[in-house]
Amino acid sequence: MIAVAAKKRLGAFDLDAAFEAPPGVTALFGKSGSGKTSLINAVAGLMRPDAGRIEIDGAVLFDSSARIDVPVHRRRVGYVFQDARLFPHMNVAKNLAYGGRHDRDRVIDLLGLDGLLDRRPAALSGGERQRVAIGRALMSDPRILLMDEPLSALDAERKSEILPWLERLRDEAGLPILYVSHAASEVARLATTVVVMEAGGVKRAGAVAEVLSDPAAVGMIGAQEAGAVVRARIAGLDRIDGLTELALAGGRIVLPGRLGGIGTHLRLRISAQDVILSRDKPQGLSALNILSAKVTAIDEGPEGVAVGLLCGADRLLARVTRRSARALRLEPGQQVWAIVKASAVAPDDVSGAT
């Protein structure tokens, strides 16, 4: 359990943010300048709040009213920056040892660093460097891992390469991770909890599936980036056409590509702009990817209308134009049909379920 509350005046900028989060990855999400880095710096002890309280798994690191301010080196926080910041003249083994010796073998195994130990940072890819930086942080035996946009300096290919390692870290390392990002796809894939920041404050905080499927959050996340996260199970594979059939709570959808073995559970991001709505059951289309849904909420923004849907127990999000919203006469409680575009899901939007 993490509980963070921090107030700080930084020049003309006012940070006044508070949130609580259960175990797992907590994503601090928001536009540039919203205060994400300032907030994790407060957790790290690199920035001293004017007032506030920071508690990680029962350990109070800062409490202005009780005059507690644990010094940085005693906070036991691991910090991973955008750039790996490894020592260029040391090989990976020495870079790791600089962090500490805690659980060395397990950390090497967890991050797949075994084959890299003799190499210097210059001979590593950007993704490998970040894995070493994470390993170095873990070897200091931190109580929390702080990651400030750890993928933002990587190209798309390196990002795809490192994402499964971050999932493994989330699922196996057993420590809370505070993860700064302004990419909704990363948040959808990795986060357990999302804290949406705007102008120094917390606009919204909650479970990832809840926040990302909320039409009212679309304006904060960005219309292009908005999309719900659902859990799915692989129910069938079409080897000839290279398709995967997924069972969601509210029906079945078929997606291109082989997404895993039958029975595998996945976490899947379905972009709002890839969900089409219809009042009547579509005719002439195959029954695939058509889900019966109930409208739960509608939010009209400058870029169109966001519609929250309940399909079985899954929450989906659709984006329609104002004109379609009028034509569909959308209102909460209404039954509609949600059509998920079969080509919609990018490879990085699929991951192991947690």
Q: Site residues (CB under 6 A) for ligand ATP? A: 10-11, 13, 30, 32-38, 182
CB of 267 to ligand ATP, least distance (A): 25
CB of 7 to ligand ATP, least distance (A): 13
Q: Tokens 């291109």, residue?
A: 256
- C-alpha span between 281 and 251 (Å, rounded): 14
CB of 145 to ligand ATP, least distance (A): 17
Identify which of residues 11 and 263 has a Cβ nearer to ligand ATP in the complex.
Answer: 11
Identify which of residues 29 and 165 has a Cβ nearer to ligand ATP in the complex.
Answer: 29
The answer for residues whose C-beta is within 8 angstroms of residue 259's C-beta and 6 or more apart is 234, 244, 246, 266, 350
Show the tokens assigned to 121.
Answer: 């940072």
- DSSP for 191-234, written as a single string: -SEEEEEETTEEEEEEEHHHHHT-GGGHHHH-TTT-EEEEEEEE
Q: If DSSP codes are grouped into helix, strand and coil, which group holds residue 337? A: strand
* Largest separation between any pair of C-alpha atoms in the chain: 69
CB of 249 to ligand ATP, least distance (A): 35
In 51-101, beta strands by DSSP E? 51-56, 59-63, 68-69, 77-80
- DSSP for 99-129, written as a single string: H--TTHHHHHHHTT-GGGTT--GGGS-HHHH
CB of 201 to ligand ATP, least distance (A): 11
Identify which of residues 39 and 218 has a Cβ nearer to ligand ATP in the complex.
Answer: 39
CB of 138 to ligand ATP, least distance (A): 23
- C-alpha span between 227 and 307 (Å, rounded): 11
Identify which of residues 32 and 286 has a Cβ nearer to ligand ATP in the complex.
Answer: 32
- Residue 50: closest CA among 38, 59, 32: 38
- C-alpha span between 178 and 168 (Å, rounded): 15
- C-alpha span between 204 and 77 (Å, rounded): 25
Identify which of residues 32 and 65 has a Cβ nearer to ligand ATP in the complex.
Answer: 32
Identify which of residues 34 and 289 has a Cβ nearer to ligand ATP in the complex.
Answer: 34
Bridge partner residues of 308 (DSSP): 297, 317
CB of 199 to ligand ATP, least distance (A): 9
Identify which of residues 35 and 126 has a Cβ nearer to ligand ATP in the complex.
Answer: 35
- C-alpha span between 310 and 312 (Å, rounded): 6
CB of 285 to ligand ATP, least distance (A): 42
DSSP designation for 293 = E
Identify which of residues 130 and 289 has a Cβ nearer to ligand ATP in the complex.
Answer: 130
